[in-house]
Amino acid sequence: MKTFPTVLRQALCLFVAAWSCLCHAQGADTYPRRPIHITVVFAPGGGADVAARLVGPKLAERLGQPVVIENRPGMGGGIGAEYVAKSSPDGYNLVLASSGGLTALPFLYKNVAFSPEKDLTPITTFGISPLVLVAGPSFPGKTVKDVIALAQQQPGVLAHATAGGNGTAPHLAAELFKVMTDTQIIHVPYKGGAPALLSVIAGEVPLGFVDLATARPHLEGGKARALAVLGKNRTSVAPQIPTVAESGVPGYEADGWFALMAPAGTPASIVMRLNKELRVILESPDVKARFASVGLEPTSSSPEDVTQMMRKDSAKWEKLIKEHNLTAD
């Protein structure tokens, strides 16, 4: 026979559980109640930054609250991602993170203070920023095969710039290129795609691994030349540019994608609300057209899809980094 204190304790526990569920439901129903901040892990002007600023106003319109875009570049996207990972898991601080920062960071840097997989919760993929190998106007080569030949003739003399520096998708793509072509090309990291590309145009660095969104205006203006896109297939936003694989390096593939993430522990109801709204936005014809006009491919997915992409790329880059002793410290 239960005593009165025992019954009272059980009733109190049930009341607390019910109240917690009610508050959680009400919190989801009233979210958001203040501005949402999206941290972009690169400097202004790159593919991820352009995407965030295209989508931000539309998300604000659908949610009824301002969406503030902030830039926190550095450490291959790690600085911005870590900042959000340590924020309150309430849906008001999100990060638009890069594929490199979400997958390769723990293997390249010795002192990473967070785990992308454990400390961040996926919301949706946000887009693909096709990567491209570009050459300055004074570079003598015209094709990928020319680059390989010149690099093999003078090991350690040719140099390439990368957008975002160590641990970013362009940097990883460049390292994979050098491994698969058995070339020694000096890496010159820049904080963003714009300064990397400007150095190529000025002839300070002959080659660049950058995102197409940044390069496109300069390619169309004749200030730089695209030698190849780095993905598995040609990109729909610039189908005339061949892939590295079809240019003489079979099996080469390196994609630059980014995803919107929240701090781990963010309520599932908030994650799914954001996922639902963003999928509507990213799949709308006008956003697709605007993305394409700046060299981006919009994508959206479930949170589970993002997790699978992270795990797949993590395994790929971990193998490359460990087998070839790559480091960013």
Asked if residue 240 is part of any domain, the answer here is yes
Final residue before a domain boundary, out of 202, 217, 247:
247
**Cis-peptide, bond into residue 66, ω within 30° of zero:** no
| Burial of residue 125 (number of CB atoms within 10 Å: 0-12, 13-18, 19+) | buried
Do 103 and 185 fall within a single domain?
Answer: no
- Other Cβ atoms less than 10 A from the Cβ of 69: the count is 16
Do 194 and 240 fall within a single domain?
Answer: yes
Do 102 and 143 fall within a single domain?
Answer: no
User: Could you tell me how many residues make up the chain?
Assistant: 329
Asked if residue 221 is part of any domain, the answer here is yes
pLDDT of residue 179: 96
- Other Cβ atoms less than 10 A from the Cβ of 15: the count is 10
Do 183 and 212 fall within a single domain?
Answer: yes
Do 120 and 44 fall within a single domain?
Answer: yes
List helix spans (H) across 31-126. 47-63, 78-85, 99-103, 105-108, 116-119
Strands (E), 168-253: 186-190, 207-211, 225-229
| Residue 188 CA to its chain's centroid (Å) | 20
pLDDT of residue 79: 92
Q: Please report where in the chains the tokens 């010149």 appear, as a residue.
A: 150
Final residue before a domain boundary, out of 192, 225, 247:
247
Asked if residue 20 is part of any domain, the answer here is no
Cα-based distances in Å from 234 to 132, 136, 153, 213, 243: 11, 21, 29, 15, 6
- Is residue 98 within 8 Å of 169, Cβ to Cβ? yes
Which CATH number does the domain housing residue 170 bear?
3.40.190.10
Q: What is the pTM of this model?
A: 0.84
Do 240 and 150 fall within a single domain?
Answer: yes
Final residue before a domain boundary, out of 247, 279, 308:
247
pLDDT of residue 214: 87
Planar angle of CA 226, 299, 133, nearest 5 degrees = 15
Asked if residue 74 is part of any domain, the answer here is yes
- Is residue 204 within 8 Å of 225, Cβ to Cβ? no
Tokens of 75: 């450490």
CA-nearest of 239, 166, 237, 152 to 196 is 166
Query: Within the chain, what is the greatest distance between any pair of CA atoms?
Result: 91
pLDDT of residue 3: 55
Rounded Cα gap, residues 152 and 106, in angstroms:
31
What integer best gives the mean pLDDT of the chain? 90
pLDDT of residue 25: 47
Do 112 and 260 fall within a single domain?
Answer: yes
pLDDT of residue 319: 94
- Is residue 60 within 8 Å of 52, Cβ to Cβ? no
Do 260 and 282 fall within a single domain?
Answer: yes
Rounded Cα gap, residues 115 and 112, in angstroms:
8
**Three-state secondary-structure class, residue 96:** strand
Which CATH number does the domain housing residue 62 bear?
3.40.190.150
Asked if residue 280 is part of any domain, the answer here is yes
- Number of domains within the chain: 2
pLDDT of residue 16: 47
With a cut of 50, which residues of the chain have pLDDT below it?
4, 16, 19-27
Asked if residue 71 is part of any domain, the answer here is yes
Asked if residue 145 is part of any domain, the answer here is yes
Do 136 and 242 fall within a single domain?
Answer: yes
Range of the domain at 96: 34-128+256-323
Do 270 and 210 fall within a single domain?
Answer: no
Asked if residue 29 is part of any domain, the answer here is no
Rounded Cα gap, residues 25 and 42, in angstroms:
35
Do 173 and 226 fall within a single domain?
Answer: yes
Tokens of 132: 């491209």
H or E stretch covering 320: helix 303-323
Q: How many helices (H) and strands (E) does the chain have?
A: 13, 11
Query: What is the per-residue pLDDT across 171-224, written as a single tens digit (0 to 9) for each?
Result: 999 999 999 999 999 999 987 788 899 999 999 999 999 989 889 999 999 999
Do 122 and 139 fall within a single domain?
Answer: no
